[in-house]
């Protein structure tokens, strides 16, 4: 029988079928908690420091005191990957408010729950072209920054789920959410970039976006390549008339958008800049300095 994956729950490891949390956990009852989705490439956790920092920022913004230091959390992530002998993986790190009596008040919960799942996941990044996806513009608007802002990577994903349902119903891959003003915000689980006349733009934080770690790395990559990325308001008009549109995120990596609500973007395939960034990013994720090694370097016998 195949060995089950081991899941970290509050400092102990459990087989996947036995890894459980309480039905009284406010993460389940009210979506009260924060999380991270993280990739492991060739035995190195990609931008782990950034993910840990963002997790603690998300927690701080909802007054959730994580019961571990950043160093302990980092070790727990690495140990979870190690225990499962993974080299290419997806890690889901969750900190919820913990179990408490019924009632939305977080003060009812004394001990946050921490769990970490690591599953095998191969990258699609490589010499081939990125996948082309079709998207619609969702009628569901992104939560504004003064509401359940997606700047917080929280367990409240209904906003994205409603948009994804619209994409499913339209028979396309994903949906782009507009912010409450009508400007482009992001896709259900990825940030968005547009290219027009070789100029690159991406919605700024005023559009209620998650401060994506891939987005940040792509902006830096562009800068290294001498390409300036404007972080500004992007209109739906600019989106549908762009030469290239692409989505970026930890799980999605880089996806080329072939059409927006039936309107072809460029020639409907992969544009030259998207292709270039995809190829460069494929190399970046494999660089040791971009991540935290999971395994001790193999000792070299002299």
Ligand X SMILES: Cc1ncc(COP(=O)(O)O)c(C=O)c1O
Residue 80 or 214: the one with the smaller Cβ distance to ligand X is 214
Catalytic annotation, residues: 153
CA pair distance 195, 193, nearest whole angstrom: 7
The vertex-83 CA angle with 65 and 38, nearest 5°, equals: 50
Residue 6 or 210: the one with the smaller Cβ distance to ligand X is 210
Under a CB-based contact definition with an 8 Å cutoff, are residues 150 and 159 in contact?
Answer: yes
Residues 6+ apart with CB under 8 A from 165: none
Minimum CB separation of residue 107 from ligand X in Å reads 28
What are the C-alpha distances in Å from 201 to residues 44, 55, 156, 163, 192?
30, 26, 27, 23, 9
Q: Is 58 in the site for ligand X (CB under 6 A)?
A: no
Minimum CB separation of residue 144 from ligand X in Å reads 14
Q: Which H or E run includes 293? A: strand 291-293
Minimum CB separation of residue 127 from ligand X in Å reads 22
- 23-31, 187-195, 258-266, 278-286 -> range binding ligand X (CB under 6 A): 187-195
Tokens of 129: 């072209």
* DSSP one-letter code for 127: S
Q: Which of 154, 191, 259, 274 binds ligand X (CB under 6 A)?
A: 191
Q: Is 150 in the site for ligand X (CB under 6 A)?
A: yes
Under a CB-based contact definition with an 8 Å cutoff, are residues 109 and 98 in contact?
Answer: yes
- Which residue do the tokens 């009210």 mark? 30
Q: Which of 96, 156, 202, 214 binds ligand X (CB under 6 A)?
A: 214
Under a CB-based contact definition with an 8 Å cutoff, are residues 215 and 196 in contact?
Answer: no
Q: Which of 25, 174, 179, 186 binds ligand X (CB under 6 A)?
A: 186
What are the C-alpha distances in Å from 233 to residues 36, 146, 203?
26, 17, 5
- 21-29, 115-123, 206-214, 229-237 -> range binding ligand X (CB under 6 A): 206-214
Minimum CB separation of residue 239 from ligand X in Å reads 16
CA pair distance 251, 253, nearest whole angstrom: 6
- Report the site for ligand X in 156-175 (rule: CB under 6 A): 160
- 127-135, 184-192, 228-236, 288-296 -> range binding ligand X (CB under 6 A): 184-192
Binding map of ligand X across residues 215-234, x = CB under 6 A, - = no contact? x-------------------
Cα distance between the two ends of the chain: 40
Binding map of ligand X across residues 2-41, x = CB under 6 A, - = no contact? -----------------------------------x----
Torsion sign (Cα): 123, 129, 131, 137? positive
Minimum CB separation of residue 44 from ligand X in Å reads 17
- Report the site for ligand X in 246-265 (rule: CB under 6 A): 249-250
Residues engaged in binding ligand X (CB under 6 A): 37, 150, 160, 186, 189-191, 210, 212-215, 249-250
């Amino acid at each position: 029988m195949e060995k089950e994956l081991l899941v970290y729950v509050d400092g102990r490891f459990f087989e996947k079928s036995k890894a459980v949390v309480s039905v009284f956990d406010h993460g389940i009852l009210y979506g009260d908690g924060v999380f991270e989705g993280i990739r492991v490439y060739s035995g190195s956790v990609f931008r782990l420091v950034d993910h840990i920092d963002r997790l603690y920022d998300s927690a701080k913004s909802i007054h959730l005191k994580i019961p571990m230091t950043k160093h302990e959390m980092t070790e727990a992530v690495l140990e979870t990957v190690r225990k499962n002998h993974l080299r290419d993986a997806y890690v889901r790190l969750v900190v919820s408010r913990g179990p408490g009596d019924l009632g939305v008040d977080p003060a009812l919960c004394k001990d946050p729950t921490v769990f970490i799942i690591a599953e095998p996941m191969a990258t699609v990044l490589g010499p081939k072209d990125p996948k082309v996806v079709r998207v619609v513009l969702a009628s569901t608007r992104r939560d504004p920054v003064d509401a359940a802002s997606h700047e917080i990577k929280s367990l409240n994903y209904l906003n994205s789920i409603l948009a994804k349902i619209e994409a499913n119903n339209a028979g396309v891959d994903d949906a782009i959410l507009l912010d409450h003003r009508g400007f482009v915000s992001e896709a259900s689980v990825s940030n968005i970039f547009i290219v027009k006349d070789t100029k690159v733009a991406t919605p700024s934080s005023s559009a209620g976006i998650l401060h994506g770690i891939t987005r940040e790395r792509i902006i830096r990559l562009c800068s290294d390549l001498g390409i300036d990325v404007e972080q500004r308001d992007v209109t739906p008009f600019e989106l549908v008339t762009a030469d290239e549109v692409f989505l970026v995120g930890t799980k999605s990596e880089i996806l080329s958008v072939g059409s927006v609500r039936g309107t072809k973007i460029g020639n409907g395939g992969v544009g030259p800049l998207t292709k270039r960034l995809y190829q460069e990013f494929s190399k970046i994720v494999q660089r040791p300095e971009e991540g935290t090694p999971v395994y001790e370097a193999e000792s070299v016998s002299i």
